[in-house]
Every structure is written in structure tokens, then in C-alpha cells.
Structure 1
Amino acid sequence: MTPGFTVDPWDPGYAAAIAVEALSELGATSAELVLDIERPVADWKPVTPGPDAAAPDTLLVADGVRRIDARVWVHDPDLPMPVPGIAASYAAGIVRCGRDGAELAAVEVNRSLISASPYAPEVKTAHAAYRPSKAADSSFEELSLALQRQVTQLEVDLAVRHRSLGDDLLLVDGPLRGRTHLPRTVGYIKTHHAAYLPPPQSAVVAALTPGQRTPVFLMGTSWRRHAWYLRLPVQSSAPWAGIARCEASAELDPAQVVRLADAVTLALPALAGVDYKDPRAPQNLVPIGGLEKLLRHHLGDPRLLYRSLRTAAVQ
């Protein structure tokens, strides 16, 4: 019997490290900006949350990780050549942070075989099962984005299941895309692949002190969202040291998004990473760093999974 797929011997990690945040920001140089959401453009300056602002009593931190376990070729009887795909593992989790500390609320692991072919099989190995999933085309970029969409959906599912308080705030690691419909939710971007703001407003970012943020603005590339920059506690005096960008739904009115921005700006400094423990500090928040480490452990041994996929392919 002809197997439904073949495992490519090429190292699955090669060229797999596509920055998903960077992919979401393609075309950023043509971003549309509305800068006067909170303040007139001429009055842009660092914002310190006022006495009426408050950090949330409960902050949920959601994150997901992904790994390509193998590059595969799916046998398609309608085509002369097999169709490329990926066998991937991914996991998502939520940490609940409150006044009494932080606790793990949820962890879930899934695995998929992603291909543009409708004949992608379900693969059951001795150690894991990979469910078939369809990609729009066979390019590696699309396969990677299809995987990221599954990670995002798993994060959304967990968030919906584990949000029990009407005043909690959900922080998702990475751009908010695909999650803008969730209430009281903020996307958290640690790294910066594009300079969105004009020079005068970028100078305001550089002038932020720890615990301050920029005014809220509206931005649109291939999708629209509110955004602001904030600075976390940091030793370095470099202009963008400790800077993170936050995103919120474009559907919020200005007063709502300003309250959300103030709440996040007050909540995050206490969660900032420290450089002697994490080279990505302070932007890699302690709950995010701990959750990522746990999730990667839950993905399993990549060498074992790769060998089991190769065995399943010839059975």
C-alpha cells in the first residue's frame, strides 16, 4: 500500500524560524495612522496614568508555542508530484495573575499535519497523533501562517473557557490579530519589526520613562487596531530599551481604550523580566517566560516525534 505521506529528511528546523509577528506586519511602511485619538498631534507627550486609573485585579496572560516536527510530502493522486506540508506540534496556556500571585490556569497541546492537499492523512504514531489541516497554498509562508492560525485559535478557545470575572484583563503575547473580538483584551508585542510612527511621535517613545506610555493612536496595515507604546523598568538608556507595543480592538471608543491602556501600563511593570535571568528582559514578562518554557516542555521530544513520523510514513 502506498503511504499517504513521506517525511523529508531535511532538518525541520531549517528556515522554520519565521517570525510570525514580522509576517503580521508586512506592509508596515504603508501603515495608515490616526494619531489624534487621545491627544492632538501637536500635543503628543509621555502619558503617566492618573489617580483614577487602576490596574486590573486579575490579569490573564495567554501564550502559545509551535514547533515543526517534520517537513512532509503528501501523496496526491490528482497531481504528478507530492504536495509539501508540515507536521507540527503546538500548545497554548493561560496564567492567572492576581494579588495573591500567579497560577497556571490551563495548558493544551495539539498536533497537525498541514498541507494544501485535500488528501493529507491523519497520522497516528506510537507517541502522538497529527490531525489533517488545510492550507491555502503550498508555500512555506502559508504553511507557517496556517499553523499560527491554529495556535491563535487555541489561545482564543482557552481564554473563552477560563475567563470567569467581568473585570479581568487578558494579555495575549503577540499581535492581537484574530483575537480583536475578545473583550478587555490587549496584544503585547515585545519586538519591533517596523517603525510605524513619524519622527516627532517616535521621539515621544524615546522620551518615555518606566511606567509611562504614549498617547493611544489608531493604526492600519492589513488590519486596524488601536495601539500605544509603553516603557518597562530597565537599566539601559538606549532610546527603545524596555519598550513594548500594545494593541487593542479598533472597535473600542477612545475612552474605553484609554482606560485599557492605563490599566496595562500600571499592571505590567511588576511583571517585567530581569536581565540576569532572561536576556529578553524586561519585555519578556515573567509569566510569559515561565509559560513558554512549560509549553515547550509539553510539546515533547522533537527527535522522538520525528523518528515516529518516519516510522509511520512507511507502515
Structure 2
Amino acid sequence: MDSLSLILDDMHFDGVVFASTHNSTPWAWRLATPGLAAFHMVTSGQAWLLREGEEPLLVQTGDLIVLPAGSQHHIQDKPQTMAVAQDLLPHMAASELEPQKHGGQGEPKCDLISGHARFDVDMAAPLIAALPSLMHVRGLGEAPPLWLAIGLQFLAQEVAAPRPAQQAIINRLGDILFMECIRDYVESVPEGSGNWLAALKDRALSNALAHMHRDPRRNWTVPELAQQACLSRSAFADRFTQTLGEPPLTYLTRHRMRLAARQLSGSGLSISKIADLVGYSSEAAFSQAFKREYGTSPSVWRQQRLAAVNPIAVATTNGDQQAAA
């Protein structure tokens, strides 16, 4: 597998949450999905996207807008609309296929499919940080991307009427459209741009990244990674550091820590087992590396994450521990 595929696999995509809306002037929605990529597809009509500190952006029929970090924004009938923006996120939870009517009784009308992707926020953080705050893929013009035209046609057909496995198919389609956006952006990143995604276009660095992501448990050395890149040790280390902004083994350690964080928050494995899974034979060495990255020990970090998700369970666990003591 290529390095981008492995990076996307590490993000653990879990489909999309979406809402279909039929909007009549005046109308306005607001949306924020921090850390999770939000998107809007205009299937008919047009809309305006507003973000703080940015010029209003016209979004037309066939366009796909992706905000990789899920930053707060409004999408509405015109830049100075008369409508009060409503929160779109609660309507996504139901993932209703039947378009929800919104706004007034005026013209023109706009049909939107909006949503956000579901993936591991911690594992996705480096990629999301490297992407622009907004990606606008235009469906109109001389040469719209073939994948977007096909995707919108497929989506329109899928939401036209209830069918078996509809939600699963829409989930996969949403993932694919987001990945296509990322792929297009990676292909457009120029060399020497200072964006580490340029490494994915560099065969030498991409090979090394693929090996690190495929086997993060292995005790990689710089000479071994340089061999995979078909470069000398010094040439590889210099090119990697210049392109990705950090030395190879620093990148590997931070990737291991993200993998460990995923295990700590999503599994009941012991700290020592997680340390072994991410390439540490010593629990103490693993704990030190984790604390350098996250500012706290693995056990405390796990407890904090658990408390954020289920405070009752943590309170019960602490009570049981005190009683046992």
C-alpha cells in the first residue's frame, strides 16, 4: 500500500453523518464540527459560505466544499441574509434521507447535502493540520473532476428513494469523496512548499513513511529507513527533516504515541501491552515518551479520556478502588 492509503487507514474512517435540506429564501445554517471534516454539496441552486475573517464564498450547483478541521461557519442564501442561522448539527444526527424544508417561502431555492466525516481525531491531527482550512471542488466549468460528477450522480440516485443498505452505501460514498479531495490536494502540493504532504509525492520519502506506518512496532533505525528510501543515511535524514519538519525517528515516535492514545481510549489493554504494541519493551520508557508528547502519564491520560466520555463510570471505578484500599 502507498503511504497516503496507510495514513488514511490509520484515521479509521467510520462513515458520515449527514442531513439533506431543501432551502427557500431567506435561509441560513451554522455548523461547527471541531476536529472532524465538515462538508456541503450543492445539488441544485446556489449558496454562500461565510467564515469569520474571510470573504463570502459562492457555492454553486455541483460544488463540494470541505472544511477539514470542521471550523465554525455559516451557509446561507446570500451574504446579508434576513434569516437567523439555525444549528445544522442536530439535524445530522438523524441522517434523514428525506430533505428537510428550511427557510421562508421565497425564491431562489437551494438543495444541500451537508455532513461531517467520522474518524479518529487524534490519528487524523497531522493530516488535518497540513490541509487548507477550506477545499472547494467546483462542479461547474470546463473540466470538473470526473470523480465529483460521478459521486454526485450516485448520491442523488441513492437518496431518491429508500433502499436496503442505503446508510452503509452513503457512509462509504462520503468517505470516498473526502479521500478524493485529499488526494487532489496532495497532488497539487508543490515541492519545497513546506507542507509535509509533499513527502507523499516524493517516492523516497513516501517509501520510508509507508514502512513506518505499516510496521510502527519495529525498532527502525535511520540507516534502515534510508535503505528503504534508496538514499544515503545523511541524504535521507536531511530530506526527511526538511520536508516533514522533524527528524525521521521523531516522526515515528509521535506516530507511535498517537497509536498508543487510540489504544488507551478505545481498549482495555494494560499499559504494558500497549507499550509492546507500539514498539516499547519497557513500560517506563513508553510512559516517559507518552508524557513528553501529551504532558501526562498514560494511566492519567486514559482516566481523563474515560471521564470525558463517561464520568459515572470513572466515579464508580474510583469508588471501588477506594473501597478496596
Which structure has the bigger radius of gyration? 2
Larger RCO: 1 or 2 (CA < 8 Å, sep 6+): 1
Name the TM-score, length of structure 2 as normaliser: 0.26
- Decide which structure has greater strand share: 1
Name the TM-score, length of structure 1 as normaliser: 0.26
